[in-house]
Structure 1
Amino acid sequence: MTIEILLVLGLVLSAVILFATERIPVDIVALILMATLLLSGIIAPEEAIGGFSNPATVTVGAMFILSAGLFRTGAVNLLGITLARLGALSFWLVLVVMMLAVGVLSAFINNTAAVAIFLPIALGVARDTGVSAGRLLMPLSFASMFGGVCTLIGTSTNILVSSIAGRHGLEPFGMFEMSGLGLIFFAAGSVYMLLVGVRLIPERKGEEDLRRLFGISDYLTEIVLEPEARSVGSVLADSPLLQDISIRSVEVFRDGTLLDEPGDRIVLQAGDHLKVRCDLENFRKLKERRGIALRQDSGRAPGEEAVLVEAVVAPGSTLDGRSLKQARFRSRYGLTALAVRHRGRLMREDLEMMQLRAGDVLLFEVEQHHLDHLREDKTFVLVSQVELPVFRKSRMVTAVAIVAAVVAAAATGLVPIVAGAIVGCILMVLTRCLTREEAYSAINWQVIFLLAGVLTLGTALEKSGAARLLAGYLVETVGTWGPVALVSAFYLATSLLTEMMSNNATAAMLAPIAIASAEAYGVDSRPFLMAITFAASASFMTPVGYQTNTLIYGPGQFRYADFLRVGTPLNILFWVLATIFIPRFWPF
């Protein structure tokens, strides 16, 4: 074993740990890997930056723009409106239609974008039908993954593995090459969710459940008692504040010190600072109550058209892993966070200092003329929209036609997918489906830098000989059971790693090893690559394994164990199906 192999394997282990813990943003980790490999001399400068010009990176960036074109023209929202109307008829009807609609949509646009579009609609249906929001949101997230494995452009991982195959002289994936097994996954996953999965999702809407879960659907906010407040001079436990408003928990601070006494011994005074937990409806009452000032809102007089808005922190956004103060939230957005819902954990630090994570829900007041700007910001996904955004409906047919042409051209082999996607982006702007600014802002640059970095690591695995070394070990151990066992092993390894770290990073690291294993075993590498591709896009066991799971985590009032309970049988089911059907669709 050479020094280069030891260094690369050490970097792979470090990458897995850093990707899994997320103490450093995943795109920064990828760039650190790139820089380390470049400085070590294992890869040349042109190889280090080659990931940025790789067809997978360019295609993924173009698909972000094409997806934005469908959204801006209202083509995607049309499905949402139809779904909302069905909500009044039957929960099961809307569940089936929603899973089908999101699955089909996710086969052609970014999964996270598809879920973000349907998120506020699903929450509205849950309120109207009296059903727990989680019983709509988890099937919504899972269905987006079912659909994402049905086409080449369904997820960035599909495009990435196809590009790695092409770089090794293999035939890139066809547009609908994955559709056969993808539809089997879609059907099996949907049946499982409808018959079993939904029933395993806890029903969390009762008041007792909320108390037991430490107010997981409540907001933590901070208020100041003004001299004219009715509760000033009264004992906390019997105060008009607690009698008139349903507050789950309250802590009283005086001169910056927590009053650690029973509520029947604390006499409230003007200027006392209270940290309280309550739901949105009681928060509205609290905000309108005379003598109560929101600490975050003190000194600010919002316009007459200001409205309360709930927004989820989007995965990979500038707020993910940072506090409001660190992100300079007030100066950047001109808004003040009034309250936060933080994954059900009882928070004691100031709201401004609280470290936020993707899936947390912020509550703030915004004037109507700022609402569109907020809705366009990729930092948030609004879940309580007061009105629908303005779409360019006259360009709807044009946007759909452009995306359809890109798909058709790639499917028929008329042009490579990367060329068709680039031309589609240009047409989106020229036909005014998108402005140039909207096209640039539609690209998720974190994903682009992540892809570029992990592709470099894949190159190092191959160039150093580490891929061949690991492949030889796999062939000598698991390979003794036959190629089907090897395919099954690659699927299982990818599935488990994807639950802990980026699916793109997992695929980029394992794909070169899969190709080397196939060469060592003397069989076609296609089945191994497909095992990695499907497994990397089927992450059901954790809320952090896939961005759509993270997005629904807060609004759905989920706990980590909920994904384990519902997702583990689904992961096992897909593993068995992959082991049976991959060798049939892609013979050795």
Structure 2
Amino acid sequence: MPTDLLIHAPQPHTIGVLVLTVVALVLFTRENISLETSSFFVLCMLVIGFQIFPYVKSNGEVFPVSSFFLGFGNEALVAVCALMIAGQALVRTGATEPVGRFLAKMWGYSPSLSLLMTLIVGAVLSAFINNTPIVVLLLPVLINVSLKTGQSPSGTLMPMGLATLLGGMSTTIGTSTNLLVVQVAEDLGVPKFDMFDFALPVIIASALAILYLWLVAPLIIPERLPPLRDTSPRVFTAELKINEGSYADGKTLAKIRDKLDGKISISRIVRGDNLSIATLPDVVIHAGDRLLVTDTPDNLREYEIELGASLYTGRKQVGESNPLSAGDQSIAELVITSGSLLDRVRVGDARLESKFGLTLLAIHSQGKETSALSKGVNDRVIHQGDVLLVQGSNEAIKAVKKSGSLLLLDGGEELPHTEKAPLALAVMATVVALAAFNITSIAVSATVGCFVLIATGCLRWHDATRALSVQVILIIVASLALGSALMTTGGADFLANVFVVTTHALAPGMVLGILMLVMAVLTNVVSNNATAVIGTPIAVSIAQRMGMPVEPFVLAVLFGANLSYVTPMAYKTNLLVMNAGGYKFNDFVRVGLPLAIIMWLSLTGLLTWIYQLY
């Protein structure tokens, strides 16, 4: 073996950083530990470790610990945050609503061609806009089509979501991953990538992938029951009139609740003609009192029997001639998106009924359903990607949809659209154009664009701050710090050397393909941003040791980190689609794995051909 391929023993600091890298990757896969906590832990460990054991560089200078905090001001992070805010403005104003309306009309003419058009439109838009607003735009369209045709949306929702991921790979601003890889590579001395520098190989590979999503994926996706067609029991509001001599007569509210194992939820007590009594535990209930209760028909009947009460709706007693009726009540889905009012809020604190006139029936999260009547559900925290099955009056549902404050799907075609929509769209187009023509960087144009959106009322400060994801910010900062430590201590060179030694007998194109495959595997189990930031310096070192052009190896990391198709947790929109469509984990493996293989082989071959890595 040539001497330049020998693996030299790493230094103590290098070993420490490599161990922390492994720990970080493991932590990022743990569902019971939030990514924010894991990222903050990694950042703190770096700071503490280098503070206690200072690292002296080859030139005699001590590596400054404060440099680990530079990620908070990194240009790529600024661009990511600004684009998050700008994307939220498109959602709030309904700027892309005309596209959704056009696609909805097309489905009436040719469902097959409409699916193809939906995939193409989703991919193209995602090249310039974060794919979350695109998925939010297209979800109501596809849900509505499925309800009108009586067919399951299983064959359309997942292909649509995956198509937006394909498009996001084609430009430097398509995803936060792209922005980070490009910025980190530039910091390492790699010539700057312009917006469309790597669009050609992505377009060619994506064309094959879209054909797969159009013709094959719908055939292999099992038919799933989405939450909107859920069989969760509906709830009704009724009065329990306490009869004289019944169990409840003369008992405190606390004892009544104990009798029913705490299941009953009493919203109001009415005594006499119209006297409201506070629902305090020590309140004594008397004959003639009316308890206002909202629950399922079975539970209401149980309360009636156990308490010896009579069940009423309005002024009539419930019976065969006067059954429980939901009136104008309808069922709808609340999809929790990035920046949603309900993101990271406890169910008990959401106050859906008092704020929006909606009653929670069930929560769908990662393919699992939890009834709103389940014990402890009020303490559960709502997360991005969850779908809340709610019931409310037609007016309440229409009001929520019109406000645009929450993504609510009820099978209707109406999407939020405000008079500010054209302005928001114009601002976003200007932001992209300024960066595309190299007039200014995307960080500058997006930041100024955010100011314009807020100043003109397209977005409120409250909405802007909610659009920012602490999780994304901390992952990026921690990953940048870890990447810096790998480069400074020689960890990246060590890993690159191991990689080169292991693959030295292979052609450069095959080495590039293996690197992309490793990134693809990591991105489906670890954060894609972490994979990209940690992988970029290693890719640069690999190319330098092989004496090959750096650009294709950087692109191998960028492309590999974007192949987040195989698991629902690999990307945030995967979770949105999973819960909205009622998919299972294995459904993503079944559809996403072939897609990832198609993209991996295509992009490897194209990069090998373009850069002549024979």
C-alpha distance in 1 between matches for 2:191 and 2:475: 24
Q: Return 25-34 or 528-537, whichever deviates more.
A: 25-34
Tell me which residue corresponds to 2:360: 338
**Which residue of structure 2 lines up, in the alignment, with residue 15 of structure 1?**
24
Shift of 1:461: 1.3
Is residue 333 of structure 2 the alignment partner of residue 310 of structure 1?
A: yes
Report the equivalent of 1:256.
261
Select 1:329's aligned residue among 350, 354, 379.
Answer: 350
Q: Identify the residue that residue 79 of structure 2 maps to in structure 1.
A: 59
Number of equivalences: 524
CA contact (8 A) 1:312 1:551 kept: yes
Asked whether 1:171 is paired with 2:197, we answer no
Q: How does 1:231-246 map to 2 (within 5 A)?
A: none
1:331 and 1:338 map into 2 onto residues whose CA distance is: 7
Shift of 1:215: 12
Match of 1:217 among 230, 234, 250: 230
Distance 1:312 1:362 in 2: 6
Counterpart for residue 86 of structure 1: 106
CA distance in 2 between counterparts of 1:17 and 1:377 reads 38
Q: Which residue of 1 aligns with 2:590?
A: 565
**1:427-448, Cα deviation, whole Å (9 max, x unpaired):** 3344544444444443334322
Query: Does structure 2 retain, via aligned residues, the 8 Å contact 1:500–1:545?
Result: yes
Residues 475/354 of structure 1: CA separation in 2 closer, same or farther (3 Å cut): same
1:3 maps to a residue whose letter is: P
Contact 2:344–2:383, Cα closer than 8 Å, also in 1: yes
What's the CA shift for 1:77? 1.0
Alpha-carbon distance change, 122 to 577 in structure 1, aligned in 2, over 3 angstroms: same
Cα pair distance change 1:570/1:394, threshold 3 Å? closer
Please give the secondary structure, in 2, of the residue aligned with 1:382.
strand
Residues 523-575 of structure 1: CA deviation (Å, up to 9, x unaligned): 22211111111121222111111111110112212111111111111111111
**TM alignment of 1:496-515, pairs within 5 A:** 496-515=521-540
Give the aligned residue type for 1:13. Answer: V
AA aligned to 1:218 is T
Distance in 1 between residues matched to 2:228 and 2:332, nearest whole Å: 19
Alpha-carbon distance change, 224 to 4 in structure 1, aligned in 2, over 3 angstroms: farther
Task: Report the equivalent of 2:15.
Answer: 6
Displacement of 1:194: 1.6
Gaps of 5+ in 1: 230-252, 259-265, 274-285, 293-301
Aligned mates of 1:530, 1:35 — CA distance in 2: 30
Q: Is the 8 A contact 1:162 1:173 kept in 2?
A: yes
Tell me the residue number matched to 1:420.
445
- Cα 1:360–1:419 shift into 2, 3 Å: closer
The answer on whether the counterparts of 1:151 and 1:176 sit within 8 Å (CA) in structure 2 is yes
Matched residue SS, 2:389: strand
The one-letter code sitting in structure 2 at the alignment partner of 1:521 is M
**Cα gap change, 1:331 to 1:36, in 2 (>3 Å):** farther
CA separation of 1:272/1:28 partners in 2, compared to 1, >3 Å: closer, same or farther?
A: farther
Amino acid across the alignment from 1:512? P
Q: 1:384 aligns with which of 405, 410, 427?
A: 410
Which residue identity does 1:338 align to in structure 2?
L
After TM superposition, the structure 1 = structure 2 runs for residues 365-404 of structure 1, keeping only pairs within 5 Å, are 381-384=407-410, 388=414, 391-393=417-419, 396=422, 398-404=423-429
**TM-score, scaled to structure 2:** 0.76
Q: How many angstroms apart in 2 are the aligned matches of 1:306 and 1:582?
A: 56
Matched, 1:181 2:207: no
Native 8 Å contact 1:337 1:362 kept in 2: no
The alpha-carbon distance between structure 1 residues 311 and 392, as it changes in their structure 2 partners (threshold 3 A), is closer
Residues 184-203 of structure 1: matches in 2 within 5 Å? 184-203=204-223
Distance 1:184 1:290 in 2: 68
Aligned to 2:562: 537
Give the conservation status (yes or no) of the 8 Å contact 1:410–1:417. Answer: yes
Match of 2:216, SS state, is helix
SS in 2 for 1:426: helix
Report how far residue 123 of structure 1 moved.
0.3
Give the stretch that moved more between structures: 143-152 or 438-447: 438-447
Aligned partner of residue 88 in structure 1, secondary structure: coil
Letter in 2 for 1:102: G
Deviation at 1:254, TM superposition (A): 6.9
Counterpart amino acid of 2:231? D
Query: CA separation of 1:161/1:291 partners in 2, compared to 1, >3 Å: closer, same or farther?
Result: farther
From 480, 487, 490, the equivalent of 1:455 is 480
* Corresponding residue of 1:139: 159
* Percent of residue pairs bearing the same amino acid type: 31
Correspondence for 2:251: none
Q: Say whether residues 1:127 and 2:160 are aligned partners.
A: no
**Could you tell me how far apart the structure 2 residues matched to 1:551 and 1:535 are?**
22
Q: Secondary structure at the match of 2:548?
A: coil
Larger Rg belongs to: 2
Does the 8 A contact of 1:471 with 1:517 survive in 2?
Answer: yes
Which residue number corresponds to residue 245 of structure 2? none
Q: Structure 1 CA distance, aligned partners of 2:435 and 2:235?
A: 55
CA shift at 1:98, angstroms?
Answer: 1.1
The code of the aligned residue for 1:55 comes to E
In 2: Cα distance, 1:376 partner to 1:36 partner:
44
1:480 paired residue among 505, 508, 513? 505
Runs of 5+ consecutive residues of structure 2 not aligned to the other structure:
1-9, 56-62, 243-257, 264-298, 307-312, 320-325
Task: Verify the 8 A CA contact 1:134 1:201 in the aligned structure 2.
Answer: yes
What's the CA shift for 1:154? Answer: 0.7
Contact 1:360 1:554 in 2 (8 A): yes
Cα deviation, 1:114-171, whole Å, max 9, x if unaligned, reads 1012111210011112221111101110110111011111111000000101111112
So what's the TM-score if we normalise by structure 1?
Answer: 0.79
1:25 aligns with 2:34: yes
Q: In structure 2, do the counterparts of structure 1 residues 350 and 216 end up closer, same or farther at CA, with 3 Å as the change threshold?
A: farther
Partners of 2:237 and 2:136 lie apart in 1 by: 35
Change (3 A) 1:14 1:319: farther
Match of 1:108 in 2: 128
Which residue is 2:293 aligned to?
none
Q: CA RMSD of the aligned region, Å? A: 3.7
Distance change >3 Å, CA 479–CA 290, structure 1 → 2: farther
Query: How many Å apart are 1:420 and its aligned residue?
Result: 2.3
Is the CA contact 2:404–2:416 (under 8 Å) kept in the aligned structure 1?
A: no
